[in-house]
Amino acid sequence: MTAIRTLKLVVAYDGTNYVGWQRQASGTSVQELLERAFAPFGDDPAAAPGVAGAGRTDAGVHAQGQVASVNVTFDVPAPAVQRALNIRLPPDVRVIDVADAPPGFHARFHATGKAYRYRIATAPVLSPFERWFVWHSPVPRDVEAMRNAATRLVGRHDFASFQARGSWTSSTVRTVTRLEILERPGEIVIEIEADGFLRHMVRALAGTLAEVGAGGRRAASLSDVLHAHDRRAAGPTAPAAGLTLVGVRY
């Protein structure tokens, strides 16, 4: 009987041209590209092993440290697997690392936390080299007010007000362990870590915090938004381009 081997991958990608990480009925996903790249390793080149990702990034969302796992039966050394995958993948998807994982490792089910970064470009003129990786919103914002609002979101809360409408999950309670608002020349950066995220949660948080910064709502209102358990109580969903999955914790 052929031994099963589990590989852990760290993947980076520019999500601009993809429907997201997960396979969809139409459009190209990052998951699909990786599975195609793995197919030639097997006895049947037409068959591809299933690749599981730690997070289901949406269309247009990027990743620096997406983690994936795959069960294989070949014995090619991990560095050679990495080289072969990158040869077969398009240049906007790169496998940063491949390593053997303990038997049974699953990128999604064994993850204990994730970190995301959201970038808001505030300069009047946006560099053409940044346009796919930021939300260009050159509106004056009170960063201190945004930081004040952010403190109300740290901790264990029901984040139903920040979940995309029409979504379903067994629980909307999540624990945010870090939420920082950084100000850099020409941009505001939102960094967030939590034990898990709801669909569009980070983008809804970013849109709401940006609204606070622009004076559209009070920082203190974020507590009321949490208690409302209603997506309509929060601010707009910020564009996908500004969001990057930075890393996954195990």
List pLDDT tens digits, range 123-178: 999 999 999 999 999 999 999 999 999 999 999 999 999 999 888 889 999 999 99
- The CATH code of domain 113-249 reads 3.30.70.660
DSSP β-bridge partners for residue 11 = 66, 95
Residue-level pLDDT at 167: 84
Helices (runs of H) and strands (runs of E) counted in the chain:
5, 10
> Which of 14, 43, 58, 230 is the catalytic position?
58
- 33 in Cβ contact with 71 (< 8 Å): no
Residue 1 reports pLDDT greater than 60? no
pLDDT band (50, 70, 90) for residue 246: very high
Long-range contacts of range 224-233, CB-CB < 8 Å, 24 or more positions apart?
225/161, 225/162, 226/152, 226/153, 226/157, 226/158, 226/159, 226/161, 228/161, 229/158, 229/160, 229/161, 229/172, 230/160, 230/161, 231/160, 231/161, 231/162, 231/163, 231/164, 231/165, 231/204, 233/161
Mean pLDDT (the chain, rounded):
95
pLDDT in tens, 172-230: 999 999 999 999 999 999 999 999 999 999 999 999 999 999 999 999 999 999 999 99
Residue-level pLDDT at 197: 97
DSSP β-bridge partners for residue 179 = 192
Q: Is 97 a catalytic residue?
A: no
pLDDT in tens, 25-84: 899 999 999 999 999 987 665 567 899 999 999 999 999 999 999 999 999 999 999 999
Residue 42, token pair as written in the block: 């097997």
pLDDT in tens, 87-131: 999 999 999 999 999 999 999 999 999 999 999 999 999 999 999
Instruction: Please list the residue range(s) of the chain that carry CATH number 3.30.70.580.
Output: 5-100
- Of 131, 130, 163, 150, the C-alpha closest to 213 is 150
**Residue recorded with tokens 């440290």:** 65
Instruction: Please list the residue range(s) of the chain that carry CATH number 3.30.70.660.
Output: 113-249
- Of 171, 147, 146, 176, the C-alpha closest to 160 is 171
Residue 80, token pair as written in the block: 């050679």
Residue-level pLDDT at 44: 64
**CATH number of this structure's domain 5-100, picked from the four choices 3.30.460.10, 1.10.760.10, 3.30.2320.80, 3.30.70.580:** 3.30.70.580
Q: What is the pTM of this model?
A: 0.95
Dihedral pair phi/psi, residue 87, rounded to 5°: -65, -35
- Write the Ramachandran bin of 57: left for phi over 0, alpha for psi from -120 to 50, otherwise beta: beta
